[in-house]
Chain A
């Protein structure tokens, strides 16, 4: 094309404007296409974000509600095997028998013939094995209910939960792992209003469990909290000190250069390598126990330090030199200049960077797997030396579980984790606006 133009140009000498106009439409189309690519790229990012969030919320919102079954329980001391209502006896009473009786009498109207052993087992499995603990707690709190008939809402098994939730979503033909007989029983309860959905407090108050309907995130949440405390307590002061040294004290020499390159490199080292470091140093060399928040916190500290140092240095760099000069001019010493003027002025920037670092640490999983924080732990940890899990690790563990109900719980745990992260990032933005004003 262009060559031909050139040849004809030597003969007929078309003006420059003609040459430009000939290509103009094509160039404008190219310009338009380029912009569309740009917008398309941004849109692609947004669509991914949107799909991710709707997917998680769609899968997880159900976990905030649990299904309960209303039963008439007769708390007679004979079937409870209780002779006098002292609390030790009530703790060890035979609650299973009470629930069993209630289930059988409740369904006797439906069943003309006697139940086979298999039917009986299927019937009993509709109520969560955790229901006995609710019953026990109720009776210990109000022992005067003994020998009375009470109507109580008991937590349903996760399969019932799934079935009921899928019915309200109008999913045709979903039965999960319920047999036809079990579905009939649940359907009858639904018709009679004996099944309800309430807010799932268990999810927030209990630790991990093999039974989805009893599993909660409290233990993982506390573990994450303890680790975050260790990380904040160590990495923030150390990070700021290192940044102050590098910006205010360090002479420009090879050692400082080396430290600087090192910190930048460390910030980009894969997190799993820090896990290997923690395994070899803290657990292998110092013989600390596995799966405790203290070790997790130490590993996360080493991981977040470079991030905090880099952002703190940027904040210190942004403090105008005139402020230092003024303080020196009034006779302040180096330490006074740093502690009384530079650090307070750089604090908003340092805090912002640190909070973003902590948010990363909160979502980190891989290094924690290395130091053994993947153990199945039911108890909520009470201090830094108790075996614990962490929220992202809990997500990882639940994601591996085959039960359908755990998908729901995993997504819900992700929602909680994301809520924390968004809150932390929001705090960082707010700090930047609030404290950053004035200079």
Chain B
């Protein structure tokens, strides 16, 4: 049987086990005095039996599927001739792939020039595949029967079904909660592992401090410019330049609108305006990218030409401006929260001394809310640094080392995208450099987020 069919059968059995278990428990309960009263409600016994059915069988299917590929791979390698087995690892992998393809599409791929041992291995592969599937079916069915009879005997008045079910429930919840940690570990490991491979061929300091970025490595060793240059400083500068422009827009506008909304606006005005401003944050960044590339960038170029300035058609200014607009609601809602958290007594004290409202805000409220505002700005900066689509569409690809916002620059995220889109081999420094850039990006944003979250935590405790 196919694996999906097996899973469905298992689930059906689990459902059946639930009904049978519950009924049997009810029976025992109704007989009452003979065997003592039931420990838990009948449906807990039902749940317990279905868990006994489903969990072990699904585990078997999962583990089997995971190990299956490796086992078959090893078996194929085993029947290949000695000369093939001693080849380097990736060539052996390639040969195994050929064998599998030959077995799956014999009509279109096998020709007279195909070596016999490959065809033979392909047929072996098909046989093993069938054998593996057959034995999986048998094992799952046997364990279903076993689990079923075992759980049938489990239903006794003294068995603490509720405790057992609740323990499984709690472990499941813990498993779900730890997926967040697993994701982080996954990110760190995958990015770090590939980056280490990159740093084996490229010097770490050359990557961090080098000022020339041109990752196009050649296909052949003897080609011109075969090595490629991986100095990431122009990317760092470009990223910072665009983020700086974005923050220049987002921080004052976001902060001022938050101040107005939380300090001056009537509740009605606030209820209407705040969600409307937040629409800006809900628009996908690819839309901003399109807007930046097709409307803002040409506008800036034309007005620059009108003023007699040399503006490139993909300028850092265009990407930064649009990114700033995107981040406004982010800054504004974070500052809004911290402004609201400032106790009213501070404002009353200041107003009572005769200060105007703006003086109160500038001298009392903002200083009191400053840590929260700073953490909001840090989070916004981390978002600006990690933003991809706007810069991919509007910032350009050329790695210029410049501080001029009218020139085109490139950023870390743009380079990651251009390096990894399309089919690439997984072990050239060109592809791996994207992971090294990803590592840099992850570390920087992680540090910013961590500081920001830490500041917020410290600050929140002050008024509580």
Which A residues lie at the B interface, using CB under 8 A? 20, 27-28, 30-31, 33-35, 37-42, 44-46, 48-49, 51-52, 55-56, 59, 237-239, 241-242, 244-246, 249-250, 258-259, 261-266, 268-274, 276-277, 279-281, 284-285, 287, 302, 305-306, 309, 333-335, 359-360, 362-366, 369-370, 372, 374, 392-393, 395-396, 399, 407, 410-411, 414, 417-418, 421, 425
Contact = CB atoms under 8 A, between A and B. Distances in A.
Contacts of B435: 276, 280
B441 A272 contact: yes
A281 B187 CA distance: 9
22 contacts: A31-B356, A31-B359, A38-B257, A41-B256, A41-B257, A45-B280, A46-B276, A52-B283, A55-B295, A56-B291, A242-B180, A249-B174, A259-B177, A268-B382, A270-B382, A270-B383, A280-B193, A280-B435, A309-B180, A372-B421, A392-B284, A425-B282
Contacts of B244: none
Contact of A20 (B165, B177, B354, B385): B354
Given A262-B180, A265-B184, A273-B438, A27 B264 contact: no
B441 A273 contact: yes
The 4 closest A-B pairs by CB, nearest first: A270-B386, A363-B284, A38-B260, A280-B190
A417 B289 CA distance: 14
B252 interface: yes
A309 B362 CA distance: 36
B290 interface: yes
Interface in B296-346: 325, 328-329, 332
A302 B184 CA distance: 10
The interface centre, meaning the residue of A52, A249, A309 with most chain B CB atoms within 10 A of its CB, is A52
Interface of B: 69, 162, 165-166, 169-170, 172-174, 176-181, 183-184, 186-187, 190-191, 193-194, 252-257, 259-261, 264, 273, 276-277, 279-280, 282-291, 293-295, 325, 328-329, 332, 354, 356-359, 361-362, 379, 382-383, 385-389, 392-393, 413, 416-417, 420-422, 426, 434-435, 438, 441-442, 445-446, 449-450, 452-453
A50 B166 CA distance: 54
A365 B285 contact: yes
B231 to A, nearest CB: 21
Contact of B389 (A20, A33, A366, A417): A366
Given A271-B388, A366-B417, A34 B328 contact: no
A431 B277 CA distance: 21
Given A45-B329, A268-B379, A245 B174 contact: yes
Contact of B358 (A34, A272, A414): A34
Contacts of B356: 27-28, 30-31
Nearest to B252: A41
A281 B189 CA distance: 10
Contacts of A52: 283, 287-288, 291
Nearest to B382: A268
A373 B47 CA distance: 41
B357 A31 contact: yes
B272 to A, nearest CB: 11
Contacts of A239: 176
Nearest to A243: B177
A241 B177 CA distance: 7
A383 to B, nearest CB: 12
A270 B183 contact: no
A117 B181 CA distance: 68
A333 B279 contact: no
Nearest to A16: B354
Given A41-B260, A369-B417, A370-B417, 9 more contacts: A30-B356, A31-B356, A259-B180, A272-B417, A279-B420, A305-B179, A360-B282, A363-B285, A407-B294
A49 B283 CA distance: 10
A276 B433 CA distance: 12
**B184, B280, B357: most-surrounded residue (chain A CB, <10 A):** B184
Given A276-B435, A369-B421, A396 B253 contact: no
Contacts of A366: 285, 388-389, 392, 413, 417
A61 B193 CA distance: 48
B286 A27 contact: no
Contacts of A360: 282
Nearest to A238: B176
B382 to A, nearest CB: 6
Contact of A269 (B277, B283, B386): B386
Nearest to B162: A333
B264 A35 contact: yes
A363 B281 CA distance: 11
A334 B279 CA distance: 40
